[in-house]
Amino acid sequence: AQSVTQLDSQVPVFEEAPVELRCNYSSSVSVYLFWYVQYPNQGLQLLLKYLSGSTLVESINGFEAEFNKSQTSFHLRKPSVHISDTAEYFCAVTYGGATNKLIFGTGTLLAVQP
Amino acid sequence: DAGITQSPRHKVTETGTPVTLRCHQTENHRYMYWYRQDPGHGLRLIHYSYGVKDTDKGEVSDGYSVSRSKTEDFLLTLESATSSQTSVYFCAIRNVGGNEQYFGPGTRLTVT
């Protein structure tokens, strides 16, 4: 069965430090990859996506993720985090097709401390 | 903002009662999805729709049914609520030709 693994359930980090949130998926066939962010008591917001082309994708608020097909990974990075980045981050994959069902990881809570 | 609303936003109900959650969209998207979010599980797909009256099951569909009689509304019904259905429920939409999904604000359901 297709799956997404986020090994770290929680990542504590100090403000202005770099961070990496890890995501691995189970298949090397053609995939579309996403990172969603969920702030407390809110819905999920699309942070960034990889559909095709350049393997490095960026968001408007300084996050980036790199698609690595050989390692079946899509890790999320930010060189310097802010308190406002505190949220839960979900990695998701779809293999396309008519229904395009999303498969989610279990989430990583990024806790930024002053 | 993908023009998605969910109602109610919060509900407390008793075991054995039927419950219906509503997802409403204003932008004529063809594809709609219902997920539940639980700690340690991420989001799991309950049911989805690929058009009016066209629906199919997801990975955790037992105990749930859906209906879509018009493009803008996708209803999720818990036939007889159980405590295991206490969760946060999210609706999502997808454009034809697109791969990303956009989510509504969620409904927090507590079954006592």
Residue type, A50: Y
**Total CB pairs under 8 A between chain A and B:** 55
Name B26's Cβ contacts closer than 8 Å, sequence gap at least 6. Answer: B3, B72
Where do we find the tokens 């690929």? B50
Q: Do residues B37 and B25 touch, judged by C-beta distance below 8 A? A: no
**Cβ-defined contact of B103 to A101 (cutoff 8 Å):** no
Beta bridge partners of B47: B34, B57
Per-residue pLDDT of B48-57, as tens digits, reads 999 999 999 9
Chain A residues at the B interface, defined by Cβ less than 8 Å, are: 4, 6, 9, 32, 34, 36, 42-46, 49, 51, 90, 92, 94, 96, 98-102, 104-107
B97 part of contact set with chain A, CB < 8 Å = no
Residue-by-residue pLDDT tens, chain A, 114 positions: 788 999 999 999 999 999 999 999 987 677 899 999 999 888 999 999 998 888 888 888 899 999 998 899 999 999 999 999 999 999 999 887 777 789 999 999 999 999
Q: How far is it, in rounded angstroms, from Cα A25 to Cα A72?
A: 6
